[in-house]
Structure 1
Amino acid sequence: MSKHLPLALALWCTCVLPGFLQARTWTEAASGRKIDAEFVSSDAGSVTILMRSGQKYTLPLSRLAPEDQAFVQEQLRNKKTPPGETPRGGPKVKDRFEDIKKLTASEIPVNGEAHPALAKADVAIQGFMAEKGIGALTFALSKNGKVLHDRAFGWADSSLKTPLQPGVKMRVASLTKPVVKSAILTLIDAGKLKLEDQVYTVLQLDQYKEAKACDARWKAVTIDQLLEHKGGWDRDQKAGDLTTHSSEMERMFRLKPDELEPIYVVRYGLTLPLDFDPGTKESYCNFGYVLLARVIEKVSGQKFVDCLQQTVCKESAAPSFSMSASDARRRQVGEVWYSYHPEYTQEQIPLSFQTEAYDGAGGLACTAADYSRFLEKYWVSGKPRKEGGYRYAFDGSLPGVTAICSQRLDGINYTAIANRRDRAGSDWNGELRKRIEEALDPVAGQLP
């Protein structure tokens, strides 16, 4: 049963990029308060929305801003019901991959190079996939500079007929950020950039009309503060996570969803006040990494991915890194298919937002083996692995992506990437990591 939402408590935060099929930012007309949530259904007087927590709330249309009311009326006119919801008088759309959950772990296909000591890790992953209804997952483990285990689980397409093969690229979501950190620190080591440099100056943001009335604190934000999520944007406050504001950007710049590019994200950000003084607190910020990708391009004189290829990827001998396309029709050869929530009834449908527009925050794709090669050369902190023994774990989550990586004290690194995530957002990351670690710990000493 849906609930009536007290808007005073409705500022919603997210650790990941936007991506619900009908996700948008809703505005309370009287107070201007914002709610980021997914459209579920509506009638002539109210709208039901779905929060990231999984709870549904019903709002009277009269409390919403005119543009929100217009959006709801458009849904009514078009008689749209998001896939996975129950149309009035119609059946609920079936999860297309429910049949996977009927399989035993051993029935999930698996291919690729295997180390015999890791057989239980494979079984754990197969069981996880069968339990969650995951159609494709890649897993790679490395140690002492060598990939020892490179496995592909599941199927190469949504028809679930052709077994997946190793070497497929998968979107890594926020696992993009350590790669961005490494590229930034590489530019700093080369003397082309300093941690204390101000992003406003480096990017020459005063060239944009949106900068004329921007928050004065913008000019104080440094590269180091962006790297450490201290730039001034708080997901719980007014500006929030700017990467969830796709619809506002599209309206502001009169764009179609597939026309949204990173520079529009930056320009939109200039129109909003910062939530806190730069450097005074830490708040996980996707927007900061969109800015850092622009810094990489500006300082290197290359496109974002081209610079990565010439620096971090070259050093790691990991050439598969590339930009993932939101639109399945523009997806590169060798990149996997993705399963979104709610499940689509068609085999391939583009996302309702541009992954490419949030490139530095979560837009990269690569093979699991290449990400593990990256982990062999760089710490998740971005620093080269020249000394010290550290333990790092990092997660990524997007619609259609559950991604985890780990750098263990025993020198083992691993990467696992699935083509589906739980409806709530990122709960599966911890579950997948726990199962891999439980299978790995007893046999870690057997790995060379």
Structure 2
Amino acid sequence: MARPSLANVLADTRPLRNEHFRRLWLANIVTVVGAQLTVVAVPAQLYADTGSSAYVGLAGVFGLVPLVVFGLYGGALADVFDRRTLLIVTTVGLIVTSGLFWVQAAAGSTSPWLLLSLFSVQQAFFAVNQPTRSAIIPALVDATLLPAANSLNMTVTMAGAIAGPLVAGVLIPVIGFEWLYLIDTFTLFATLGVVVRLPSLRALEAATSVPGLRAVVDGLVYLRTQPVLMMSFVVDLIAMVFGMPRALFPEIAHLSFDGPDEGGLVFALLFAAIPAGAVIGGVFSGWVSRVERHGRAVIACILVWGLAMTGFGVAVALADRWGTAMLVVALAMLVIGGAADMASAAFRTSMMQAAAADAMRGRLQGVFIVVVAGGPRIADTLHGATAAAVGTAAAAAGGGVLVVVGVVIASLAVPSFVRYRITRPTP
């Protein structure tokens, strides 16, 4: 009987053997932390300049609209132009906008509209950059290693989602907003230095004309003809819309676990728990490369997510009776959910990269950006309204139950998704 190997448990690092993927991944470690500094600094500066949460809320609108518009159109661009060129242009755009954030802060500007406008432009560049970046991975990594490559990428992203806010929270009172923006600007040069060294990465059978609305529509029509790919988006929307309870965290921290109304440790722990679970899941993701039945794996991961969110809601409901013990349970449920979401995202992204025609990958990655950005924002509105009517515990637990019911119905409706598997080459 073969002894279990630690290498089979820890993250599969074989994608890092590809020189270009390894450079992108290493540069992303630096860039993600810098980007998270800006993610925290923008709403913090908005509130500091205006004293109004309404302006902070506007950042969501100013960020979501360009993500939707340019996410879809940027994906179409990635299916026409050399993807290396697009990465260079959009990375330079991100550097310039980050530099302008620094300029306005250093100049002492207190205009919320200037800050929101810069944020909107930055998100437009991001919305083109991300689908292009994802679309090139199948050209760098073998199809059987796509889950491992996507797990590595998501692990870095989630680690940045933890480290960035913590670092920003410490640094803002010490060095101010302008230095956070400047750090972000310089970290982006790490990515620029890598993308300029990539080979030409034009899509196979790329269109010869500049894409317009028709190209975006063609991508959506193509998606309708691919039930497996369509379902990868549907099940993610089910998981996020019904099962993402982050809008409830401030009230839960304050009322259920006796935290201060302005935030505090419990508030921070609740927000950090899901990303922490994703990082833990990524570190121990060696198993994903050995899974062939990606459809079943996605369904299983989302069921775990739904059950974990149900458990989170139950723990909140019992907080009045059991106090700190239920806080530990609630955090554990969020961590489990984060690990399941990481694995689900790795498989879904890999399915999209492997099953889609190369000439459509950019557009489908654009749809992916829209789904990933839009689902949690819809969840914020839905959970907030539901909690006002039935309470936070019922809203969180009920949402988890709806995830389980929804994904089971989706599985029965499209069995081809459940049956989807990759074919490994014969040794």
Name the TM-score, length of structure 1 as normaliser.
Answer: 0.23
Hey, which of these two has a bigger chunk of strand by percent? 1
Structure with the bigger RCO (C-alpha within 8 Å, sep 6+) is: 2
Write 1 or 2 for the structure with the bigger share of helix. 2
Q: TM-score, normalised by structure 2?
A: 0.24
